[in-house]
């Protein structure tokens, strides 16, 4: 079983289906000629390099090693360096500082995996740090900084760009490449990217997490293919909603705004974490059983009085601190759903006060229950908003990933909400899945898509219940060439 195909799997019958990563050692992956991908991500809270290995015969992806740093530890700008953005918590970023952090975390991941930098076949870069940017276009500066870091670590440019022919793919993997039949046209796991101008700064993040949930769901009984809704609870909210067009589904909805930052704001009222840069990850979650009783839900509902979840207004430049372009979204035929606290996070301090009250009343048990209910109710409201906008149908699958969406008792609470309030549309045993490290899994899938390394017998593209769409893709691309 694999990265996402995995170890902790709740069976049918009243509990949510959760896929977690099974590991393989670096030397094993090299010896078996697995396709090794490094996912490098600089997020608002954490900076990660996650090494994965894919058995291309079976289409199964395993976790080799995960190296995690706190983004707040990025060094401060030096004289002469230009600040191009900052995290949602105000950590200022320069191209040089980001490159140093990325190079360090990548080299350390490879070292601890007991492989060499040459054993890495491909690197995919992404960022969740979009809130402090002035426009979606400025995310490009971050991607360049990530590339600089990869180069500093010894990754050559050709391992960060799509192959143009089989000769550019490492010899052991050429037999798995379909590049002589189809070419990479931007579609990832059977989803066409929105056309035209970028509509939200975390567009790529949403693309990767949807792909990651698709591959993770392969170990469960949930067929998480199109049409589907992916929700990523990072520090900021990301995700997509697709339709069921063939051969490629369209992105009809995007999610943006605040997610894990809401939980971080709540815990900062406890006095147990730094009041400016502390986060929920700093607390001992593994040691405490959350109390998700009525008192926790009452506190969570108090939190939700300050949470604003709705379609992003057409006049907005930011929503939940994330740069957006609603007019471009409208032109691309999709709708933006945002999650904010006040206006661009203005009411986050009020959540800290609620967190203080909950912690003083019931300690970590009650506090963590409040976090779990707050997260579950966000999912509920996102789904309700998508339904109101006619973006979801009974045919959709729903997938959730991200630190603030799958920890504690959040999966059980969301399962309960689907079972009790949306039973006329979905069966949570068949239509709801939770996946860890969705973005990293998505990076491994992105690398395969860019190099046309497909597994037709275990497809990720196409619609729920159907087979591989290779034949449809070939006809589609031939038609495009002819026109």
The ranges assigned to domains in the chain are 203-439
Distance of CA 304 to the CA centre of its chain: 23
Q: What's the CA angle centered on 110, arms 104 and 116, to 5 degrees?
A: 120
Distance between CA 172 and CA 267 in Å, rounded?
A: 49
Mean pLDDT value across residues 103-120? 97
Q: Does 276 score more than 60 pLDDT?
A: yes
pLDDT score, position 336: 96
| 260-267 helix and 348-388 helix, angle to the nearest 10 degrees | 150
What separation in angstroms does the CA of 243 have from each of 99, 160, 248?
38, 30, 9
Mean pLDDT value across residues 247-265? 96
pLDDT score, position 11: 41
Query: What is the reported pTM?
Result: 0.90
Torsion of CA 214, 215, 221, 224, to 10 degrees: 10
Distance between CA 16 and CA 416 in Å, rounded?
A: 9
Distance between CA 131 and CA 94 in Å, rounded?
A: 15
Which of 8-12, 191-195, 210-214, 390-394 has the weakest average pLDDT? 8-12
pLDDT exceeding 90 applies to what percent of the chain? 70
Summarised one tens digit per residue, pLDDT across range 236-247 is 999 999 999 999
pLDDT score, position 396: 98
Locate tokens 């997260």: which residue? Answer: 375
439: nearest Cα among 117, 188, 246, 154: 188
pLDDT score, position 213: 96
What separation in angstroms does the CA of 225 have from each of 199, 288, 336, 426, 468?
23, 35, 21, 15, 11
pLDDT exceeding 70 applies to what percent of the chain? 95
| Helix H or strand E encompassing 367 | helix 348-388
Band of residue 12 on the pLDDT scale cut at 50, 70, 90: very low
| 294-304 helix and 348-388 helix, angle to the nearest 10 degrees | 90
The single-letter DSSP state of residue 354 is: H
Band of residue 60 on the pLDDT scale cut at 50, 70, 90: confident
With b for 16 or more beta-carbon neighbours within 10 A and e for fewer, the 31-60 pattern comes to eeebbbbbbbbbbbbbbbbbbbbbbbeebb
The single-letter DSSP state of residue 154 is: T
Band of residue 133 on the pLDDT scale cut at 50, 70, 90: low
Q: Which residues contact 175 (CB under 8 A, 6 or more apart)?
A: none
The single-letter DSSP state of residue 188 is: B
Mean pLDDT value across residues 160-185? 91
Which of 96-105, 452-461, 470-479 has the weakest average pLDDT? 452-461
Band of residue 380 on the pLDDT scale cut at 50, 70, 90: very high
pLDDT score, position 241: 97
Q: What share of the chain is helix, strand, coil (3-state, %, to 5)?
A: 40, 20, 40
In DSSP notation, 436-449 reads: SSHHHHHHHHHHHH
472: nearest Cα among 480, 483, 162: 480
pLDDT score, position 335: 96
Locate tokens 């709705």: which residue? Answer: 310
């Amino acid at each position: 079983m694999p990265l996402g195909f995995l170890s902790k799997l709740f069976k049918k019958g009243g509990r949510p289906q959760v896929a977690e990563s099974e590991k393989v050692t670096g030397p094993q992956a090299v010896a078996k000629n697995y396709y090794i991908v490094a996912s490098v991500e600089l997020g608002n809270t954490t900076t990660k390099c996650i090494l994965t290995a894919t058995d291309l015969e079976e289409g199964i992806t395993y976790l080799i090693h995960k190296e995690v740093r706190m983004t707040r530890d990025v060094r401060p700008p030096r004289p002469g360096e230009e600040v191009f953005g900052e995290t949602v918590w105000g950590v200022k970023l320069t191209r040089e500082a980001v490159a140093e952090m990325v190079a360090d975390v990548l080299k350390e991941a490879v070292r601890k995996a007991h492989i060499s930098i040459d054993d890495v076949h491909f690197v995919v870069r992404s960022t969740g740090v979009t809130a402090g940017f002035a426009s979606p276009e400025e995310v490009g500066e971050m991607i360049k900084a990530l590339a600089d870091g990869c180069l500093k670590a010894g990754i050559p440019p050709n391992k960060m760009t799509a192959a143009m022919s089989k000769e550019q793919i490492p010899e052991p993997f050429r037999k798995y490449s379909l590049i002589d039949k189809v070419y990479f046209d931007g579609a990832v796991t059977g989803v066409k990217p929105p056309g035209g101008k970028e509509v939200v700064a975390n567009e790529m993040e949403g693309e990767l997490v949807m792909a990651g949930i698709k591959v993770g769901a392969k170990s469960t009984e949930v067929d998480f293919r199109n049409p589907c809704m992916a929700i990523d609870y990072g520090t900021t909210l990301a995700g997509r909603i697709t339709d069921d067009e063939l051969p490629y589904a369209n992105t009809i909805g995007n999610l943006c705004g605040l997610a894990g930052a809401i939980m971080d704001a709540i815990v900062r009222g406890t006095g147990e974490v730094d009041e400016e840069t502390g986060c929920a990850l700093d607390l001992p979650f593994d040691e405490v059983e959350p109390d998700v009783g009525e008192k926790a839900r009452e506190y969570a509902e108090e939190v939700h009085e300050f949470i604003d979840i709705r379609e992003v207004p057409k006049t907005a430049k930011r929503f939940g601190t994330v740069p957006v372009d609603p007019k471009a979204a409208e032109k691309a035929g999709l709708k933006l759903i945002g999650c904010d606290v006040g206006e661009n996070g203005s009411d986050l301090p009020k959540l800290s006060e609620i967190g203080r009250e909950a912690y003083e009343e019931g300690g970590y048990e009650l506090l963590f229950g409040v976090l779990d209910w707050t997260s579950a109710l966000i999912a509920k409201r996102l789904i309700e908003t998508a339904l109101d906008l006619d973006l979801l149908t009974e045919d959709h699958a729903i997938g959730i990933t991200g630190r603030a969406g799958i920890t504690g008792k959040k999966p059980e609470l969301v399962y309960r909400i689907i079972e009790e309030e949306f039973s006329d549309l979905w069966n949570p045993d068949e239509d709801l899945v939770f996946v860890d490290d969705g973005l990293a899994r998505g990076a491994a899938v992105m690398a395969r898509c860019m190099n046309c390394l497909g597994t037709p017998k275990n497809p990720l593209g196409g619609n729920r219940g159907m087979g591989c769409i290779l034949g449809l893709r070939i006809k589609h691309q031939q038609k495009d060439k002819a026109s």
